[in-house]
Every structure is written in structure tokens, then in C-alpha cells.
Chain A
């Protein structure tokens, strides 16, 4: 008998629904490189409309979404981009903007709420007088929700403010909006309003929205035209890609409405974790679908906890030497949340009593956090 695995490692683990599978099987397709795949076109037009931008482009991953965006905005040699020192692009995308794109990163510290101080952003913008020594700043990147700080929402006021800074300095603004819909729902701000100040946004379809593959980039027609060529250059030009777009279409149609529930479940998890005295949880910092908690008891490590949980078919991700991350999604039920809390309580007892048996983590997670 197969026991259900409660996978809280990330919202990327969502598997395609029956409706998505049916849509993929029935998708009307064509060669999207030689011409245009009709399902891809329809989906891209719909995403552009939803996000309030002129055009959109489907790409295989969020990494490519961000890479294409940075390279498109910074297509002149000697460019620099301002971004958070704890941002996904800077930490978890293999430094591709630099190693592949030749773009120099200039980091500004991320605050616990996911923002960067606006005055620090301004201070990081290179002065033209220094052109003999400085690269040229061309772009500012924000991340909303901000993953490493706990799935924190950047408000529309903050985003607009950074947009004004960008505009007044002749810079572009890109939002890594992998989880932008979570932010929109949590803030109660329509997504197109939330990103209005941005020249481009990358949006993941394969995370909380549940599609099997892909992200979408949105921006102006000119930007998307450049992006399309970069996508091909990077090797992201897929042929009958409507297969994937059909599933993504269903995801946007069916799952955006369930995100609020994911946030509720995250709060329930956090409330339950707070009751365990060996952990420290800041309930106010649970804004969307992520829960980070610190382990206060030195006898318990994130690795040990995750290993023991795995024995009970609950998967979680160590986030640092002292913390663990749980991410909820629509394929986690309320009873899964309760089951998880029970397992965590038992795991803690087991570890403290010395009865736990530790096996190497088999679910592909290691002691390093991936930041997915």
C-alpha cells in the first residue's frame, strides 16, 4: 500500500491535475519556432492581459525568465544590475547573468521584509562621472514574494517607489514575480496594479499555480521581441510547446483562486509550530505560503528533523544550519497539515529521547538549501 507523501519542500512539487492532463492531451499545437503555436499564442496573450503588459513569452523555467529579462534589459557590454543580496537571482541561478550574460551584479542588503532600502538602492546607482571606472547601471530587480525572507510581500507603494527611482535615473525595473500571484492575493491588490511600475515581470506557472513546467515573462512588445531571440539563443525555443501552455492555462484558470487557502494552511502550520517549545516561529512573518522556523534546541538540527520526518512521509527543506522551511500548496490538504504537525511533535520527542534513527535524506534535499 502506497502511503501518501506530504511534500512541503516547495510549491514546485505540484503535479498536473486531471484537467491539466486532459488539456495537454487535447491541445491544438504547431511549430512555435517556425511559426506560432496557437495554444502558446492564446496563453501568452491571456497572461499579458492579466498582468497588464503588452506581450508575454512562455519559457521553460523561472531561471530562464529572469536570465532573459536581465540580458534583454542589459544588452550593452559593461552593464550592471542592482538586486538584493538575498535574492533568488543572485543566490540560486548559478550566477548566469554574469557567467553567461556578462552583466555585473551590484547587491543591496535585503531587509527581513524582503525590501531593500530605497536610499541604499539610489546610493548603488553608478554615477556617470565615473564611467572610466564604473559599469553602467541599467536595471533594478525586485523579488515579490521574496523567498529567502519567508515569502514576504512587497507592497504596491514600495514597488511604485522603486519604479519612480528607476524611471528618474533612466533605469528599467524587473520583478522576479515567481510567486507574484501569492503577493497579489495576500495584499488584496490586483496583480496588474501590483506590477504596473515594472518594465518586465517573470511569473512562475509551475509553483503554486500547479502547472508541470514553465514560467512566463511579460513586458512591452519590443522587450518581448528581444526576449524571444534570447530565449532561442539560450535554447528555450520549443516546438509544439502548446502542450505545456495548455496545462499552464488551466493552472491560471483553476488555481489562482486557491492561493488564499494555501496562506491559511501556512498560518495553521505556524500556529501549531509555535506551540512546540523547541522551535521559534514569528507568526507575523507568515504572509503567504511559506513558514520558516528556527530550532532553538541544540539537540535538534534541521537535517535530523527532516530525516525523521521523511521516515513518516513528510518532506521538508532545511533552510540553514538552524532553520527549516515548509511551503504549502493546493495539493496539501488541511488534514495533511494536521498530520504534519503530529509528525513534527513525534519527531522532536524521538530525537530528544535519543530513539531516532537517522538515514541519509533520500528525497534529494541536502543540508544546503536550494531556495526553490
Chain B
């Protein structure tokens, strides 16, 4: 008998719903490279409308969405982009903007709330006087919600302020909005208002929204035209791609309304974790669907905890030598949350008991 696995490693693990599967099977498709796939067209138009931009482009992944956006904004040799030192683009995308795109990154420290200080952003903008030594700053990137700081929301006021800075200096603003809908829901700000200051946004469909594959980039018509060519160059030009867009369309229709629940479940999880004295949890820092917590007790390591949980069919992700991350999504039920908390308590007892006996606990290498 298969036990249900409670997968809290990421919201990327969401599997396509029955409605998505039916939509994929029935999708009206055509060759999106030679001409235009009708389902892709419809979906892209709808996403542009929702995000308040002129046009949109479906791409296989968030990594490609960000890569295309940076390369499209920075298409002159010798370009530099300002972004957070703890941003997904800088840390988890293989440095592709540089290794493939020849764009130089200039990082600014990310604060615990996901922002970068505005004065530090301004200070990082290269003066044109130094053109003999300096690359040319062309772009600022924000990330909303900000993943590594715990799924934190950047406010519309902050976003607008950075937008003003960009404009005043002749720069573009791109938002890595992989989880922008989570931010919109948590802040109570319509998503088009939230990203109004941005020239482009990348939005993931395969995370909390639950589609099997893909992201979408939104921006001006001229930007999306450039993006389309870059997408083809990178190898993201897919043929009858409407099969994927059909599922994404269902995701946007059916799952956006469930994000608030994910945030509630994350808070329940955090509350439960707070009661365990071996952990440190900052409840105020749980803004959306992510919970980060630290091990306060040196006998318990993230690796040991995740292994013990795995044996109980609960999956989590160690995020540093001292912390673990849980990510909640709509395929995690309230019952799953309670089950996870029970397992965590059991796992802690097991690890401490193991330690007390000075026995070697079984290790099978989670990192």
C-alpha cells in the first residue's frame, strides 16, 4: 500500500490536476514557431491582461524567463545589471546571464525582508563618467516574493520607489515574479498594480499555481518581440506548445484563489514548529507559503531531521547548515500539516534519543 508522501520541499512539486489533464488532452494546437499556436496565443493574451502589460511569452522555465529578460534589456555589449546578492537569478541560475549572456552582475545586499536599500541601489549605478573603466548599468532586478529570505513580499510602495530610481537613471526594471501572485494575495494588492513600475516580469505557472511546466514573461510589445527571438536562440521555441498552455490556463483559473489558504497553512505549520523548543521560528517572517526555521539544538542537524522525516514520508529541504525550509502548496491538506507536525515531533525525539545512546543513526546522505 502506497503511503501518501507529504512533499514540502517546494511548490514546484505540484502535479497537474484532472482538469489540467483534460485541458491538455483537448487543447487546440498548432505550430507556434512557424505560425502561432491558438491556445498559447490565448493564454499569453490573458496573462498580459492580468499583469497589466502589453504582451506575454510562454517559456519552459523561470530560469529561461529571467535569462531572456536580462538579455533582452541588456543587449548591448558591456552591460551591467543590479540585483540582490541573495537573489534567485544570482544564486541559482548558473550565472547564465554572464556565462551565456555576457552581462556583468553588480550585487547589492538583500535585507531580511527581501528588499535592497534604495540608497545602495543608487550607489551601485555606474557613473557614465567612468565609461572607460565601468560597464554600463542598464537594468535593476527585484524578486517578489523573495525566496531566500523566506518568501517575503516587496510592497507596492517599495517597488514603485525602485521603479522611480530606474526611470530617473534611464534604467529598466525587471521583477523576478516567480511567486508574484503569492505577494499580491498576501499584500492585498492587485497583481497589475503591484508590478506597474516594472518594464518586465517573469511569472511561474509551475509553482503554487500548479501547472506541470512553464513560466510567462510579460512586458511591452517591443520587449516581447526581442524576447521571442532570444527564446528561440536559447532553444525554447516549442511547437504545439498549447498542450502546456492549456494546463497553465487552468492553473491560473483554478488555483489563484487557493493561494491565501497556502499562506494560512504555512502559519499553522510555523505555529506548531514554534512549540518545539529545539527550533527557532520567527512567526512574523512567515508572510506567504514558506517557513524557514533554525535548529537551536546542536544535536539536531537539518540533514538528520530531513532524513528522519523522509522515513515518515514527509519531505523537506535543508537550506543551510542550521536551517530547514518548508513550502506549502494547494496539494498539501490541513491534515497533511498536522501529520507533518506530528512527524517532526517524533523525528526530534528519535534524533535526541539516538544521540543520547551515542549510537550511530542511519545516514543516507541528504544535503
Contacts and interface: CB of A to CB of B under 8 A. Distances in A.
A320 interface: no
B33 A372 contact: yes
Given A22-B25, A213-B241, A235 B16 contact: no
B323 interface: no
A234 B34 contact: no
Interface in B1-52: 9-10, 12-13, 15-16, 21-22, 24-26, 29-31, 33-36
A179 to B, nearest CB: 14
A365 to B, nearest CB: 7
Interface string B212-239: 1110000000000000010011111111
A300 interface: no
Given A63-B235, A64-B235, A64-B236, A235 B61 contact: yes
Nearest to A33: B12
B206 interface: yes
Contacts of B247: 243
Interface in A34-52: 34
Interface stretch (B94-102, B305-313, B335-343): B94-102
A234 B35 contact: no
A221 B102 CA distance: 29
B26 to A, nearest CB: 7
Contact of A233 (B13, B63, B237): B63
Contacts of B16: 29, 240, 243
B238 A60 contact: yes
A233 B238 contact: no
Interface string A163-185: 00000000000000000000000
Given A65-B235, A233-B100, A240 B26 contact: no
A239 B206 contact: yes
A241 B238 CA distance: 13
Contact of B236 (A95, A235, A364): A235
Given A29-B16, A232-B63, A240-B212, A12 B25 contact: no
A186 B214 CA distance: 37
Given A60-B60, A93-B233, A370 B94 contact: no
A243 to B, nearest CB: 5
Interface string B234-263: 111111111110010000000000000000
Contacts of A237: 60-61, 63
A111 interface: no
Given A64-B234, A235-B65, A34 B12 contact: yes
Q: Interface on chain B toward A: helix, strand, loop, or mixed SS? A: loop
A94 B233 contact: yes
Nearest to A71: B100
Nearest to A213: B238
Contacts of A201: none
A12 B235 contact: no
Interface in A334-372: 363-365, 370, 372
Given A229-B94, A365-B34, A34 B244 contact: no
A142 B26 CA distance: 38
Given A22-B25, A34-B10, A100-B100, A12 B234 contact: no
A232 B242 CA distance: 22
A99 interface: yes
Contact of A63 (B9, B36, B232, B240): B232
Q: Which of B31, B59, B94, B237 has the most CB of A within 10 A?
A: B31
Contacts of A234: 64, 67, 96, 100, 234-236
B68 interface: yes
Given A12-B34, A93-B233, 14 more contacts: A10-B34, A24-B24, A25-B21, A26-B21, A34-B12, A34-B13, A59-B235, A60-B236, A67-B234, A94-B229, A237-B61, A238-B61, A239-B213, A364-B35
19 contacts: A13-B31, A21-B24, A26-B21, A60-B237, A60-B238, A63-B233, A64-B235, A64-B236, A67-B235, A100-B100, A206-B239, A212-B239, A213-B240, A229-B94, A234-B236, A235-B64, A240-B15, A243-B24, A243-B243
Interface of B: 9-10, 12-13, 15-16, 21-22, 24-26, 29-31, 33-36, 59-61, 63-65, 67-68, 93-94, 96, 99-101, 206, 212-214, 229, 232-244, 247
10 cross-chain pairs, A with B, having the tightest CB-CB distances, nearest first: A235-B64, A64-B235, A240-B212, A212-B240, A364-B35, A94-B233, A25-B25, A233-B94, A21-B25, A25-B21
